């Protein structure tokens, strides 16, 4: 089931990308990226959102063609135009999302495109027999004639894996293969990877779970902003160093001033009773028993790397995704029904991460976009009061400084920052008690960013409870009174008061998982307390 | 240091057994076997309750009179399995009949091959527009519905020219009686069933409807298969029209209006998902038979109310079937 071929001599790369560049609509997705894969190595590819990992993978698998640079497979320059060509050449890929056909049988999925045939028709019996045999090697014992969707997600991922590996692969690219796997299945995956390695297959392993990288990978390439910032052996590379590389932060270089528009001092908490309290939230494969509380007038930051379950936690709080467990109470009252509508009624609103897909309605005017959610409150007997609408819209446009020619301008004509403010206005006119902000300043210009940031400050000052999710360290550190750090869907750290520093956050992120292999975080405690001191001094000097 | 606490990560949950609930199995069974069960019940009840229903005269009328039209549903099964739709088949059926009658003057072979070729040609055009130009199947085939009907009107001078099949042509025999049409159609359905379930082509069609992106990433010939599926549907519609015309002995320009919708209804009643990704030829057989039997019964009992009533009952039944499919689908997703 796994191709048998002698491992090529060391040093002779099986797949080599040299100087690859790729531009989408003027934006550099890849800049002079080089990657070299040796036979029989497991190569970690890591980086934050937008670092260019996916584009690089797509260049290697024939989905995209690079604008500049070359791809060399076993010494020959190749120019794949379709995924099919890349597969035929021995590069197979397992995507993060299970890319199989849900209503087809398991065996069918495994053999699609290369079914065993007899007399010109598919030999179903032989196919099922072979499929069962192959999948047993991957720990999947289910009836292979059943439709794929009846399998668990992890088992489906195993079918995808078996499918990818079955081709006479020379390179196997795995894009976050463990995101839907149970721990037992991760072990199976690792043994398959080890098997591949011993057969001389090069494996590219993309994951945000550092524990996994250290467990299985030989070398690592770190990408940031479309460029490679580091390539080298993984063993001996500190976790902290790895994270600083990913995030573009040197441990020594902690900028405190001028980066954001948040006021330096914290917010006065008006009460100590939490306005929002979430307990043991669980979302399948994403969130694992996260608890957090927000008090009125407080900004709570939610920190973590990509895929740590930040957005999912926020969505679970407002009931936008199905939860497996956990409770949410608002101002001491437990929410029995969990849906965005119920959350809004209770005074909890969320500004979604993806403005275009989950928020703005581009063809409507500024006025219409603002009052959309508040319409029931602004109307009597189904008749919308224009006067009250105008009042609300004028107030918020002034208050948030929305730059538009007037309330009737189409929202699609506004800049990203002003669109974000319109969305914020939509939620604020609901008189919320708690505001969940998922990447509120992503993709908006510097000026608007500062305005949104000071607005968040101001709202908290007025007594709103705010949950702030941000991938920008400065924004998170300086905007939050407290930071809850997530990793792999679980809370791994709480930063409070003077402890809200970049060092402390990085240390919490670098902490290893539950397996206790924390030898890679040298003196995390010492570092953090030192940072505490630095930070408090910095506060005093301002 | 008291302000910073780094806690251990909570251990991941233990995996549950991935089993299938009883409700889900039942849902799958109903989706798979719903049409034959309903068909059986309707036939049994009708045979007992309605004298004359099971008489050979009635049965042969139902079978022989409708069989060729069922080929439209066969073609539609493939199209819908890929997640597409072909609205042009009703018009193509009518054009096929007229072309067969017209072509029969040049010989019996021409009577069959001309409509087949024209159907295939138009299917190719539709397929290219859908697969290569990435146009919506609904729009492309709606254009086909109108355009093909227009061509038909042009050929027949808006219905004023009637083409007759010469009485001596052997091709007429293809449409005569009950057994010849039924056997021809049954053979084509069997071939179609094999094509869908036992060939790579069939697997590709299901894969396209199930998850087109995945099919592309798996390296399946997606665009080619999509072209072929419309060629297949167009050819079957042309052939069905030809055989229907040969049975009638002439090309009838007004025939075939709304047949595409009946075909879609049969396919959906048979359990094929309108969204694609799951289709069965066997289900379609049950679907066409069920609709034919219901038509027959409604005609028998309600003919005094007019044919519009038949259509209303038809529509209501289709809505019922789609509704139950939706509910079953929802039950499965909730798990």
In order, the DSSP letters of A275-319 are SEEEEEEEETTTEEEEEEEE-TT-EEEEE--TTSSHHHHHHHHHT
- Give the distance between the most distant pair of CA atoms in chain A: 84
| pLDDT computed for residue A35 by the predictor | 93
In this complex, do B220 and A112 lie within 8 Å of one another by their Cβ atoms? yes
Q: Is the dihedral of CA B53, B54, B57, B60 positive or negative?
A: positive
| pLDDT computed for residue A535 by the predictor | 38
Pairing relationship of beta strands B5-6 and A490-496 according to DSSP bridges: antiparallel
The structure tokens listed for A393 are 């819209």
Intervals of chain A under pLDDT 50 = 1-9, 251-259, 514-542
| pLDDT computed for residue A334 by the predictor | 87
Measure CA A316 to chain center: 15
Instruction: Give the contacts of B334 (CB within 8 A, at least 6 positions apart).
Output: none
Residue spans of the domains in chain A: they are: 22-237, 266-347+432-542, 357-429
In this complex, do A511 and B6 lie within 8 Å of one another by their Cβ atoms? yes
CB pairs under 8 A between A and B: 136
pLDDT digits (tens, 9 = 90+) for A22-60: 887 667 788 999 999 999 999 999 887 667 888 899 899
Angle, helices B56-81 vs B89-103, to 10°: value is: 120
pLDDT along chain B (335 residues), means of 10: 38 38 61 73 84 84 88 97 96 95 88 95 97 94 95 88 82 85 95 91 90 82 94 97 91 89 89 87 91 82 72 73 64 43
How far, in Å, CA of B120 to CA of B239, rounded? 9
The structure tokens listed for B308 are 């519009």
Query: Tokens 């979302």 — which residue?
Result: A283
Residue A63, sorted as left (phi over 0), alpha (psi -120 to 50) or beta, turns out to be alpha
Report DSSP state, residue A500: -
CB-CB contact of B255 with B97 (8 Å): yes
User: Which of A84, A150, A282 lies closest to B219 in CB terms?
Assistant: A84
Instruction: Give the contacts of A228 (CB within 8 A, at least 6 positions apart).
Output: A33, A34, A35, A221, A222
User: Which of B5, B9, B12 lies closest to A487 in CB terms?
Assistant: B9
Domain that holds residue B213: 53-334
Count of domains observed in chain B = 1
**Residue B243 included in any domain:** yes
Name every chain B residue with its beta carbon within 8 A of the beta carbon of A513: 9
**Residue B21 included in any domain:** no
How far, in Å, CA of A510 to CA of B34, rounded? 55
**Residue B17 included in any domain:** no
| pLDDT computed for residue A224 by the predictor | 85
Show the CA angle centred on residue A409, arms to residues A404 and A410, nearest 5°. Answer: 115
How far, in Å, CA of A364 to CA of A437, rounded? 23
pLDDT digits (tens, 9 = 90+) for A165-224: 866 788 999 988 887 777 778 888 898 899 889 988 999 999 877 888 899 999 999 998
| pLDDT computed for residue B27 by the predictor | 61
How far, in Å, CA of A55 to CA of A223, rounded? 11
Residue B28, sorted as left (phi over 0), alpha (psi -120 to 50) or beta, turns out to be alpha
Query: Tokens 């059926």 — which residue?
Result: B93
Instruction: Give the contacts of A453 (CB within 8 A, at least 6 positions apart).
Output: A260, A261, A262, A441, A475, A479
| pLDDT computed for residue A522 by the predictor | 37
The structure tokens listed for A74 are 């076993």
Measure CA A488 to chain center: 11
| pLDDT computed for residue B328 by the predictor | 62
- Give the distance between the most distant pair of CA atoms in chain B: 103
Is this prediction's ipTM beyond 0.90? no
Are A22-237 and A266-347+432-542 in the same CATH fold?
yes
Mutate to test the interface with B, among A58, A97, A103, A208 (most CBs of B within 10 A): A103
User: Which of A151, A288, A528 lies closest to B13 in CB terms?
Assistant: A288
| Domain A22-237: assigned CATH number | 3.40.50.300
Measure CA A66 to chain center: 25
CATH homologous superfamily of domain A266-347+432-542? Answer: P-loop containing nucleotide triphosphate hydrolases (3.40.50.300)
Please report which helix (H) or strand (E) contains residue A135, including its range: helix A124-136
Tell me the C-alpha to C-alpha distance, in Å, between residue B169 and each of B101, B106, B108, B184: 10, 10, 6, 18
Length of chain B, in residues: 335
In this complex, do B4 and A514 lie within 8 Å of one another by their Cβ atoms? no
In this complex, do A514 and B11 lie within 8 Å of one another by their Cβ atoms? yes
């Amino acid at each position: 089931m796994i191709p048998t071929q002698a491992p090529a001599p060391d040093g002779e790369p099986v797949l080599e990308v040299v100087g690859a560049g790729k531009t989408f609509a003027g934006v550099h997705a890849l800049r002079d990226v080089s990657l070299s894969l040796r036979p029989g190595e497991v190569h970690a590819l890591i980086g934050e959102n937008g670092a260019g990992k996916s584009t690089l993978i797509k260049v290697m698998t024939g989905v995209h063609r690079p604008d500049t640079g070359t791809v060399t497979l076993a010494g020959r320059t190749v120019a794949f135009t379709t995924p099919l060509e890349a597969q035929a050449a021995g590069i197979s890929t397992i995507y993060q999302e299970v890319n199989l056909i849900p209503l087809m049988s398991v065996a069918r999925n495994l053999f699609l495109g290369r079914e065993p045939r007899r007399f010109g028709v598919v030999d179903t019996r032989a196919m099922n027999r072979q499929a069962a045999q192959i999948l047993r090697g991957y720990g999947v014992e289910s009836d292979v004639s059943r439709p794929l969707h009846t399998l668990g997600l992890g088992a489906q991922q195993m079918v995808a894996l078996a499918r990818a590996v079955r081709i006479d692969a020379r390179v196997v690219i795995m894009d976050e293969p463990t995101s839907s796997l149970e721990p037992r299945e991760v072990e199976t995956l690792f043994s398959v990877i080890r098997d591949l390695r011993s057969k001389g297959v090069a494996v590219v392993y993309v994951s945000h779970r550092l524990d996994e990288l250290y467990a299985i990978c030989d070398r690592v390439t770190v990408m940031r902003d479309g460029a490679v910032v580091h390539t080298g052996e993984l063993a001996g590379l500190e976790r902290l160093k790895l994270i600083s590389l990913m995030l573009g932060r040197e441990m020594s270089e902690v900028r405190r001033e001028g980066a954001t528009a948040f006021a330096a001092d914290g917010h006065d908490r008006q009460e100590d009773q939490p306005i929002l309290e979430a307990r043991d939230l669980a979302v399948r494969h994403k969130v694992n028993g996260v608890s957090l509380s927000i008090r009125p007038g407080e900004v709570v930051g939610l920190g973590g790397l990509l895929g740590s379950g930040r957005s999912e936690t926020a969505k679970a709080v407002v009931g936008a995704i199905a939860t497996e467990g956990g409770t949410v109470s608002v101002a001491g009252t437990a929410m029995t029904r969990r849906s965005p509508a119920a959350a809004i009624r209770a005074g909890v609103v969320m500004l979604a991460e993806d403005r275009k897909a989950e928020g703005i309605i581009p063809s409507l005017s500024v006025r219409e976009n603002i009052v959309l959610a508040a319409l029931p409150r602004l109307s009597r007997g189904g008749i919308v009061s224009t006067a009250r609408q105008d009042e609300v819209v004028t107030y918020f446009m002034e208050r948030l400084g929305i730059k538009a020619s007037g309330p009737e301008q189409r929202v699609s004509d506004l800049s990203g920052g002003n669109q974000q403010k319109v969305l914020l206005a939509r939620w604020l006119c609901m008189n919320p008690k708690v505001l969940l902000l998922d990447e509120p300043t992503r993709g908006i210009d510097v000026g608007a960013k500062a305005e949104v940031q000071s607005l968040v400050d101001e709202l908290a000052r007025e007594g709103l409870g705010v949950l702030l999710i941000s991938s920008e360290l400065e924004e998170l550190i300086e905007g939050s009174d407290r930071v809850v750090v997530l990793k792999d869907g679980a809370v791994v750290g709480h930063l409070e008061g003077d402890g809200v520093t970049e060092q402390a956050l990085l240390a919490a992120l670098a902490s290893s998982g539950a397996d206790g292999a924390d030898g890679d975080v040298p003196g995390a405690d010492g570092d953090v307390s030192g940072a505490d001191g630095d930070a408090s001094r910095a506060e005093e000097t301002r | 240091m008291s302000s910073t606490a780094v806690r251990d990560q909570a251990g991941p949950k233990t995996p549950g057994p991935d089993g299938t609930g009883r409700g889900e199995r039942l849902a799958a069974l109903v989706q798979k076997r719903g049409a034959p069960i309903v068909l059986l019940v309707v036939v049994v009840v009708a045979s007992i309750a309605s004298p004359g229903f099971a008489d050979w005269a009635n049965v042969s009328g139902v079978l022989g009179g409708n069989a060729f039209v069922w080929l439209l549903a066969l073609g539609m099964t493939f199209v819908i399995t890929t997640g597409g739709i072909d609205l042009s088949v009703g018009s193509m059926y009518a054009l096929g009949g007229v072309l067969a009658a017209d072509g029969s003057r040049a010989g019996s072979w021409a009577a069959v091959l001309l409509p087949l070729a024209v159907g295939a040609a138009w299917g190719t055009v539709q397929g290219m527009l859908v697969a290569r130009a990435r146009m919506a199947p609904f729009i492309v085939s709606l254009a086909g519905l109108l355009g093909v009907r227009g061509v038909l009107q042009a050929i027949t001078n808006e219905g004023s020219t009637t083409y007759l099949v010469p009485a001596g042509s052997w091709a007429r025999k293809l449409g005569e009686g009950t057994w010849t049409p039924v056997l021809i159609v049954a053979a084509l359905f069997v071939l179609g069933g094999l094509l869908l379930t036992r060939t790579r082509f069939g697997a590709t069609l299901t894969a396209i409807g199930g998850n087109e992106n995945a099919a592309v990433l798996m390296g399946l010939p997606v665009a080619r298969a999509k072209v072929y599926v419309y060629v297949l549907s167009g050819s079957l519609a042309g052939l069905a029209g030809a055989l229907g015309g040969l049975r009638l002995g002439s090309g009838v320009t007004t025939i075939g209006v709304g047949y595409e919708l009946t075909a879609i209804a049969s396919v959906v009643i048979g359990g094929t998902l309108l969204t694609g990704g799951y289709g069965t030829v066997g289900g379609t057989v049950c679907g066409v038979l069920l609709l034919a039997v219901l038509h027959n019964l409604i005609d028998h009992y309600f003919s005094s109310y007019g044919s519009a009533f038949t259509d209303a009952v038809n529509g209501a039944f289709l809505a019922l079937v789609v509704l139950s499919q939706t509910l079953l689908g929802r039950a499965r997703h909730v798990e």
